[in-house]
Structure formats: C-alpha cells, structure tokens
Amino acid sequence: MSPELDLTGRFSGDVTSLDDFARELGAGTNGGEAAGFLPRRVDANPVTVEKDLAKLVLAVIDLVRRLMERQAARRVNAGSLTDDQVEAMGETFLKLDQRMAELKISFGLQDDDLNLSLGRLRDLL
C-alpha cells in the first residue's frame, strides 16, 4: 500500500476530500477498474466524439480557472498585488469567461455539462 499523502501546508481549506479522492483512486487498480468507477473500455461514439472531447477539455479549463480565481482572491486579500495587477487579472478572467461562454454555445453545452461525475466520490465541480 502506498504511503498517505502529506498535503499539510500545500493547500488551504478542507483537504480531506482530496485525501479521500487520492485513496479511492489508488484503491483497486490491480488490473481491473480503478476504484470501481473508471470503465475498462471507453465507449467512443463517432457521432458525439467532438462534443464529448470539447466537454472534457472545457471542464478541465473551468476547473483550472476556478483554482486560479481562488488563488487570485487570496493574493488580493493578502495585499500582494498592485492595482494594475488586480485590474489585469480581472480583465483576463472576464475574457476567459466570455470565451468559455462562446465555446459552450458553439458545442451546445450548458454549465451543468462541465460538471464531470467522479462516481462514488462526487461531482468534480
């Protein structure tokens, strides 16, 4: 069995969910399905493959965006950014939000579509 992850000081907030996720992901990967929620085969549908790929990519981008926004908020609250840096970050996040909205429309996706299910663990977003 692998040693427990020591996440102390690396993340803020409740890391128990991350510990649970790492434990579940590492459990039961002895050649079978990983943690009982990853399928043995991918059922690729040629009709929806483009939309499905866009859904996955946009979900990952949205997750990273949320993490970046939280980090930016921490830095703003800590006073470690200049007014110009805060303004530039705000503009960047606004542009990213607008582009994400455009991409969701072009692929026929809603916000709920980007919330990937992690099986027994819970939804990603």
Question: 97 is written with which tokens?
Answer: 């939000």
Q: Is the pLDDT of residue 84 over 90?
A: yes
> Does one domain contain both 71 and 106?
yes
Q: Which two tokens stand for residue 65?
A: 């965006």
Q: 6 and 32 share a domain?
A: yes
How many domains does the chain fold into? Answer: 2
Please give the mean pLDDT across all residues of the chain: 75
Q: How confident is the model at residue 111 (pLDDT cuts 50, 70, 90)?
A: confident
User: 14-62, pLDDT tens digit by residue?
Assistant: 556 656 666 665 655 454 444 455 455 566 777 788 888 888 889 888 8
Query: Is 13's pLDDT higher than 70?
Result: no
Residue 86's pLDDT band (cuts 50, 70, 90): very high
**Structural domain span for residue 29:** 1-41
Question: Which of 24, 57, 49, 19 minimizes the C-alpha distance to 38?
Answer: 24
Instruction: Indicate whether 36 and 64 sit together in one domain.
Output: no
55 and 32 in a single domain? The answer is no
Residues 36 and 49 occupy one common structural domain? no
d(CA 65, CA 76): 16
Q: In terms of Cα–Cα distance, which of 114, 73, 113 is closest to 93? A: 73
pLDDT the model gives residue 98: 94
| Structure confidence by residue, pLDDT tens digits, 64-76 | 888 898 999 999 9
- Counting residues of the chain whose pLDDT is more than 70, the rounded percentage is 58
Q: What pLDDT is stored for residue 105 in this prediction? A: 92
Q: Residues 2, 59: one domain? A: no
